[in-house]
Structures are given as structure tokens and as C-alpha cells.
Amino acid sequence: MKIPPGVSAGDFADAIKQFEDAVGKEWVFTSDEDVALYRDAYSPFWGEADELVASAAVAPDTVEQVQKVVRIANHYKIPIYPVSTGKDLGYGGSAPTYSGSVVLDLKRMNRILEVNEQNAYALVEPGVSYFDLYRYIQEKGIKLWVDVPDPGWGSPIGNSLDRGGGYLTALYRNHFDSHCGMEVVLANGELMRTGMGAMPGAQTWQQYKSGFGPWIDGMFSQSNFGVVTKMGFWLLPQPDAYLSGTVMVPKHEDLIPMIDILNWLENTNCTTGMPFLGSPLLSRGGPLSAGGPPPDAELTALLAKPIATTLNELDAYAQKKGVGFFSCTLSFYGAAEANAANWEFAKEKFSAIPGAKFVDGQSYKLPLTDEQKGNVNVPLFGIPSLRMFSIGARSEANPTPGNGHIWFAPIIPRTGEAIFEANRVFTDAAKELNLPVPSFSLPTCYWERGFIYLFGFPITHDIEANKRNRAAFDRLVQIAAQHGWGEYRTAPAHQASVMDTYSFNNHALLHFHETVKDAIDPNGILSAGRYGIWPKHLREAKG
């Protein structure tokens, strides 16, 4: 049995015994075989001595059991690492950030405490997955939608605490932003509720976010300040109808006004769904290929050269063939007539770009029929799925799959200029790092005020390849930071190096986090090292 660092074998044995008394023997996992189930399947340290692994796992079923476990851990100074559904693949899985920690597995706490149709919210425990919540709502015939991320077996609490995102309207797809009220077990075992929940008998815990006084909920996301045992989430009342439409612009420089108009349309609530950027031209078997028609000889020759040198020629080709250089797909959730009017209005605005063309997309009265569900990407309709795993799984096109991925995910400004600049920077970076040079990459539009690039680094079971990729990843983090672009979220392997780039005024922000950490978790038992925040004794040990 592995023993947590800094803990004596005797203390650990006593603590395990007490964990067993608290949660039941069968829910304390100490055998190598059981503990190995907590390995991060997508670990960039796979098979190395540095791989982040658990020493044991404890799976409580109630808040009281969580409090007991935390108190025992605090007494024996045992590092513990809470996970909700533990499916944070690409960002750490269910493995701890500080190797040798005991995983506090909250999967068994899977009660849906309330779904309120009148005020459109849910209150859930950590082990409730998106599938669970979706099924519950369907079975009860409640007309509410959950904004789901991929893959659907994650949890509203785990996903939002890592500040993940989904696909519906802006108010909902930022999952942490759409939460309302938390219950937290602190490192000393004390139970606290945030927002209106701090008032005994509160009637509006899930209806008014900030309560009274400092609003501290953000401190429990991407952090290690508490164990969250309940969270409320706002849900989207089932809209009347859905409509999508695509604008295509002919020249590469049209990307700039296209994004400006998109932003205006989003920020005035004309379009509310998540936009998707594309390139009909480059999709033609080119670098952005998503199954478009194969490129002809002329386009193949153009695409063989660095794109920065052929933009004007590509413009001419696109115009000759009548293919859009860039595109943006908008979606509208609302009354069918309002959706149609908003799309017409969006077309009018985009028509300021000479040569802009439009294609009407899907139009559905909601809810979808089962047949319609087969025609759509279901998470855009609040339906959880696992199909996104196809991006790395074996297939005809990918006969030798890897072992997952981690994401390099910088936020850049929401402008066309920034997209061109990011492409210049990442193309140069790829050359420097001896990576294949991307011709052109487009960001995703999860967040309404900033773009996010999602570059997947493959995970292999080849230690040397993983080492090279980790070094390249850290270098990309630095290069992005030199241009003022920071990661929105990252895997434990890179959390310290990313936190290091948030260094304004001699790391004042990190110093604040550390001050809080030392005050509310003086023994440093909770999720040590998560997002680069280490407790005092480990900071000192690291020098």
C-alpha cells in the first residue's frame, strides 16, 4: 500500500481504520488493484515515476460522512483530493494533483435534491452526472434543459468547479457562471453555505446568486479551499423553437468584420446560441478538413505552401469558385417567429460585408422528435452524449489511436485580428518546437467575450514522446503569455506553469491564494497543488 508523503505508516493505518468506521469498510479502497482505478487514463506522466497517483480512496455517501472524513484527514494531516464524478479526462481524470493523496470520491453522493420547474433550477449532489439529471427531468416530464458539456457522464458540480463549458445560450454554457448557491465542507469539517443559503430557511438559495457581503463562490472553483457537497444550477426552460443559419464571407480579411458583427449580434442578444466558426474553403480536404469535397489540383498546390504567403491567391481562388473563405454558423433558441426575424436581421447586418452569402440551417419546433435527434449534435439540444470520444478513438481514418489527449487552451481576444495574430504566433511556435505547422486554426466560441483555442496534445504510452509533448506544452504556455493570452484551464501537469504566467505585480494573485489557503486549510490537506496553489509546508519543502 502506498502511503501519503509526510504521513507515518502508523498514522495512515489509524486514519484508514477511522475512514472505514466513517463510511463503511467496503467504501475505503486500499488495494493496489482498486487504487489503480483512480489513475488518470489520460496522464501525460503515464508509467513514469512522476505519475500522479492516489494512495487510497474513500467514498462517502452523505455530507456528514464527508465531514467525518475531512476531520480525520485534518487530524492526521493526510492530503485528500475530492472529485465528483472523476471524469476530468484531459484535465487530470480522477487522480490527485499531489501524488499520494487519498481521493475523496463523491460519486456515491448522487441525489438530485430538487428540480424546480417554476423557477428553472436544480440542486444536486456531486455524484449526479449530466445523464442522471437529464434522465430524471425526462422521466418526470419537466420542461427544462440542462446545458451539458461533452462527455455527458461528467457532473454539473465537477465540471463547473473546473470551469467547464457547454453549448446552449450564453447564460448557461459557462457552467460555473450558471450555478447559484453552494454548500461546502471546509478543511476543519465545518459546513458552510454560500449566497442566500447562508440564511437559515432561505427561500431563494437557487434564485439569487450573491447573497449578502463578499461573494466567495468563485474561490471554490479551480482551487483547493473546500469540498463542495451541493450546488444549485440554473436550467434553461425548454425553448419554443431552434433555428440555425450560416454566413459565408469571400475574402480572408472579411473575418475581421464578420467577428465584429457576430459580437454585436451576440452582445445585443440577437443570436443566443453558441456560434461556430469555419472555413468552407480550407475544409475542402485542406487543413480544416471536416469531410468537405476533396481539393482540386489548384487548391492542393496552394494549400501545400505556408498559408501566410498564399492568402491573396486563396482569396482569388475562393472568389473564382464561389466558395466562402470563412463562415460562421449562428443559432437561435426562442419563439419560431422571433428566431426567423433575428436571422433575417443578422443577415442584414452581415450584408455589410460585400459578397456575404447565407445558407439557412436547421429549423425545429421543440422538443425534438426521436427522429430529429438522429439528425443533430444532441448536446446543442441539452441532451448528454458520449459521441465526442470519436475525436480520438480508433476509426477507419485513425487506425492507430493514442491514449487520450490534454488540451492546450488559451483565451484570445474576440476579434478577427487576434485570430490572425494567434495563427502567426502558433505557426512560428510550431516551427520552433518542431511540431507540424498548422495552416490555419479557428477558435471556439464557448465564452461570449473571449475566444478559446482548443489544441489537443495526444497522450501516448511512450514516455519520451510524452516528455517532449510536456516540454512543448509548457513552451506554448509561455509563448501565449508573452502575447497576453492565458490558459482557461489546464491539466495538473501544467497547472503550476500556467499559474506562473498570471504573475502581475510579482505574483500578487498567487500570494493572495496562498494566504487564503494557509488561513482556511492550515494543515494543507485539501487538493494540495491544484491550480498551482500549494500549502505552506509544501511551499517551504519546495524552497
Partner 1 sequence: MRRAGKVLLAALGFVLLGTGPATGQDSSWTLFPSHGQESATPIIQRGKEVFQNLCSGCHGPVIKNASPGIGATMPGTDALAAKYKGAKPAMLEERTDLTPQFIKIFVRNGVSVMPRFRKTELSDADMEALSAYLTRNNKP
Ligand X SMILES: Cc1cc2nc3c(=O)[nH]c(=O)nc-3n(C[C@H](O)[C@H](O)[C@H](O)COP(=O)(O)OP(=O)(O)OC[C@H]3O[C@@H](n4cnc5c(N)ncnc54)[C@H](O)[C@@H]3O)c2cc1C
The contact set with ligand X (CB under 6 A) reads 82-92, 94, 106, 126, 149-151, 154-155, 157-159, 161-162, 164-165, 227-228, 388-389, 391, 527, 530
> Would you tell me how many other CB atoms lie within 10 Å of the CB of residue 408?
23
* Nearest residue (CB) to partner 1, 217 versus 487: 487
Distance, in Å, from the CA atom of 399 to the CA atom of 406, rounded to the nearest integer, reads 20
The letter for the amino acid at 430 is A
CA distances 207 to 116, 122, 233, 269, 437, Å, are: 11, 10, 9, 22, 48
Q: Distance of CA 212 to CAs 199, 276, 340, Å?
A: 10, 38, 41
Of 84, 53, 29, 80, the residue nearest 189 (C-alpha): 80
Report the residue from 178, 469, 495, 527 that binds partner 1 according to the rule CB under 8 A: 469
Span of 144-152, 180-188, 297-305, 523-531 interacting with partner 1 by CB under 8 A:
144-152
Examine residue 524 and tell whether it contacts partner 1 (CB under 8 A).
no
* Cα–Cα distance measured from residue 373 to residue 382, given in angstroms and rounded to the nearest whole number: 11
Report the first-to-last Cα separation within the chain, whole angstroms. 29
Q: Which of 9, 49, 290, 297 binds partner 1 (CB under 8 A)?
A: 290
Instruction: Report the nearest approach of ligand X to the CB of residue 46 (Å).
Output: 15
367 touches partner 1 by CB under 8 A: no
Q: Binder to partner 1 among 99, 160, 206, 244 (CB under 8 A)? A: 244
Smallest distance from partner 1 to CB 414, Å: 16
Binding segment for partner 1 (CB under 8 A), chosen from 11-19, 172-180, 288-296, 531-539, is 288-296
Question: Is 42 tagged catalytic?
Answer: no
Write a three-state SS string for 317-379: HHHHHCCCCEEEEEEEEECHHHHHHHHHHHHHHHCCCCCCEEEEEEEEECCCCHHHHCCCCHH
Site for partner 1 in 325-344 (CB under 8 A): 329, 331
Choosing from 186, 460, 475, 536, the residue that interacts with partner 1 (CB under 8 A) is 460
In the complex, least distance from residue 90 CB atom to ligand X, rounded to whole angstroms: 5
Residue 126 interacts with, from partner 1, ligand X, none (CB under 5-8 Å by kind): ligand X
Q: Which residues pair with 457 in a beta bridge?
A: 406
489 in active site: yes
Give strand pairing partners of 122: 115, 233
* Residue 386 partner contact from partner 1, ligand X, none using kind-dependent CB cut-offs of 5 to 8 Å: partner 1
CA distance 55 to 105: 13
Task: Supply 363's cell numbers.
Answer: 429549423
Asked if 399 is part of the footprint of partner 1 (rule: CB under 8 A), the reply reads: yes
| Contacted entry of ligand X, partner 1, none for residue 161, CB cut-off 5 to 8 Å set by kind | ligand X
Which CB sits closer to ligand X, 82 or 334?
82
* Residue 396 partner contact from partner 1, ligand X, none using kind-dependent CB cut-offs of 5 to 8 Å: partner 1
Cβ neighbours of residue 127 closer than 8 Å, sequence gap 6 or more: 84, 85, 106, 107, 108, 109, 110, 155
Residue 437 is a binding residue for partner 1 (CB under 8 A): yes
Three-state DSSP class for residue 309: helix
Whichever of 107 and 349 has its CB closer to partner 1, that residue is: 107
Q: Which does 68 bind (CB under 5 to 8 A by kind): ligand X, partner 1, none?
A: none
Q: Which does 168 bind (CB under 5 to 8 A by kind): partner 1, ligand X, none?
A: none
- The distance of closest approach from Cβ of residue 274 to partner 1 in the complex, given in angstroms and rounded to an integer, is 9
Asked about 91 being catalytic, the answer comes back as yes
What SS3 state is found at 226? coil
Q: Is 395 in the site for partner 1 (CB under 8 A)?
A: yes
Minimum CB separation of residue 518 from ligand X in Å reads 18
List beta partners, residue 115: 122
Within a 10 A sphere around the Cβ of 140, how many other Cβ atoms?
Answer: 12
What stretches of 235-325 adopt beta strand conformation (E)? Answer: 236-237, 241-249, 276-278
- Our CB check for ligand X shows the closer of 211 and 404 to be 404
Dist. CA 122–CA 231, nearest whole Å: 8
Of 76, 446, 488, 531, the catalytic one is 488
Residue of the chain from 4, 18, 73, 87 that contacts partner 1 (CB under 8 A): 87
Q: Which of 30, 55, 194, 385 binds partner 1 (CB under 8 A)?
A: 385
Q: Which is nearer to partner 1, 166 or 524 (CB)?
A: 166
> What is the distance between the alpha carbons of residues 438 and 426, in angstroms, rounded to a whole number?
8
Task: Return all residues near 461 (Cβ < 8 A) that are at least 6 apart.
Answer: 46, 47, 403
Q: Which of 173, 414, 489, 530 is catalytic?
A: 489
CA 77 to chain centre: 31
Which of the listed partners (ligand X, partner 1, none) does 430 bind, with a CB threshold of 5 to 8 Å by partner kind? partner 1
Residues 51-70 close enough to bind partner 1 by CB under 8 A: 57, 59
Residues serving a catalytic function are: 91, 488-489
